[in-house]
Structure 1
Amino acid sequence: MSAAETGGAQVKSAVRTVELLEFFAGSPGMHTLAAVQEAVRYPKSSLYMLLRTLVELGWVETDATGTRYGIGVRALLVGTSYVEGDEVVAAARPALDRLSGDTAETVHLARLDGTDVVHLATRRSPHHLRPATRVGRRVPAHATALGKALLATYDDERVRRMLPRTLPALTERTITDREELIAELGAVRARGWAADREESTVGLRCFAVALPYRVPARDAVSCSVPAARLTPAHEQAVRDALLDARERLALATRRL
């Protein structure tokens, strides 16, 4: 085998490793070898050897029977180091704390990754009725206030290239038509904030603003409120608090 062929095989192996880890990251829980093979479509023998290697290195774990596989603790360590080392996350902490205190609602800092948003930091509401949340959660951008706030910083043609004509529905209220979404993004640009009307989770409303330290924006901050607790006065207070947080974050991130 030539050096070029060896290099190609090594690259292919690296790609498969990353794809396999991304499968586990996006599919929580434990999976049989057959289920993993059906998802990734690798030859079973190659997949088994790759899984054995990743188990030995701690990137993948097995259950007590050794026949089911899931994401390993090494992936957590890498993910944690990404968040802990991120300059925006560090700079945003005081503003997130202030926003959480001002609204008494759940607050998120998220980043656009392709056509999804990924939660980088969160502050949980003190109320018993509050949304489930975690750092690392990935949600389609078109169905969230965070995503709309970020997509609105792109021009319409770029959004058309990024998103398909028909968008997947997370709830009955999700906008599934790309042109309808683009029309809403125009409204987001005009008013300076985005809203999610139970489009990602039934019973949950969300409001968000993009951080202006980069254009198009990469990061956004949101406040999520159970619809049962959202009055017109509380909605206005949440939006005002978000706009204030955006100004504070603009100052905190101006040199990043």
Structure 2
Amino acid sequence: MSALRNAAAVLRCFTAATPELSVTDIVERLGLAKSTTSWLLKLMAEEGFLEVAAASRRYRPGPLLIASGHLFRTTSSLVGAVHEFIAVVVAEVGHTGYISILDGTDVFAIRMHPGSHHLRVVTPIGLRLPAFATAVGRSLLARNSDEDVRELFQRPLPRISDQAPGTLDELLPRLATVRQAGFAEADDEGNRGVGSVAVSIADPAAREAVSACISFPLSNVSADERQAIRGRLVSGASELGRRFDDSFWTSRPMPSARVRHTAA
């Protein structure tokens, strides 16, 4: 594994749940030699990718990484357009909205719009979730061919819940359904007690793709509300997809006013 790949693997170890990590923590997660890990972390800190927290003496994301993340969120025209779109949907339906991206076999949110209902879903920004077991993940994975998905998931899928796909043979039909319907759904999978509806939009010119989703407590959404969420997300994604010349959307007709239920 190259130094660059090792550095990327180190950065993926930091999450909202583990914002600070020691050398030993990284060694245990990546299986690298302690001397190699210590050298790499010091080098990453010198270059601004990491910094040492004064109180704990553990490593955490550094100023260069934070600045780069802020630059991506503020300069991406796709993220900006989806941000405006999902804000409107959240205001209409009252449930929490997220913009998420795919990183390998994981997905994580880069922006959140809190809902207005007293009972609402809150998932920390940056928290990594398995892409195969989430609506946002499947909405993005469905943009790949089955061959590419098989290449991505070379290891057996972990059992997340009874509702989540447990094998590639269970996952691939769900992705086919997403490609046909234009949206993905997940109930009680990566997040227990939570339902989500998600769509994805891409900007081919910038080689970016993001997912927009609405998440809600399963106990707090009626069938009619869920139907309205599906329709609003699909119609908005279709409009944005045409704006960015996203073939996933330009190759299909404009959605009708009512989007039928499809479990994916």
Category of TM-score, reference length = shorter chain: 0.7 to 0.9
Q: Which amino acid aligns with 1:172?
A: D
Within-5 A mapping of 1:1-256: 12-25=2-15, 28-55=18-45, 58=48, 59-64=50-55, 66=57, 68-164=58-154, 166-211=156-201, 213-214=203-204, 218-254=209-245
Contact 1:165 1:179 in 2 (8 A): no
**Structure showing the higher helix proportion among its residues:** 1
Instruction: Name the SS of the counterpart of 1:47 in structure 2.
Output: helix
Q: Which amino acid aligns with 1:248?
A: E
Shift of the alpha carbon at 1:25?
4.6
Contact 2:74 2:80 in 1 (8 A): yes
Q: Which amino acid aligns with 2:167?
A: D
Instruction: Name the SS of the counterpart of 2:14 in structure 1.
Output: helix
Instruction: Name structure 2 gaps, 5 residues minimum.
Output: 247-264
| Paired-residue identity, % | 26
Distance 2:102 2:159 in 1: 19
Contact 2:146 2:172 in 1 (8 A): yes
Distance 2:77 2:237 in 1: 16
TM normalised by structure 2 equals: 0.78
Instruction: Name structure 1 gaps, 5 residues minimum.
Output: 1-10
Distance 2:36 2:144 in 1: 42
**Structure 1 ranges of 4+ moved more than 6 A:** none
Contact 1:92 1:252 in 2 (8 A): no
CA 61–252 in structure 1, closer or farther in 2 if over 3 Å, else same: farther
Shift of the alpha carbon at 1:82?
1.7
Shift of the alpha carbon at 1:89?
0.8
Distance 1:115 1:158 in 2: 12
Deviates more, 1:154-163 or 1:208-217: 208-217
Output the aligned Cα RMSD. Answer: 3.1
Instruction: Name the SS of the counterpart of 1:129 in structure 2.
Output: coil
Distance 1:189 1:254 in 2: 17
For these two proteins, the number of residue pairs brought into alignment is: 245
Shift of the alpha carbon at 1:230?
1.4
TM normalised by structure 1 equals: 0.80
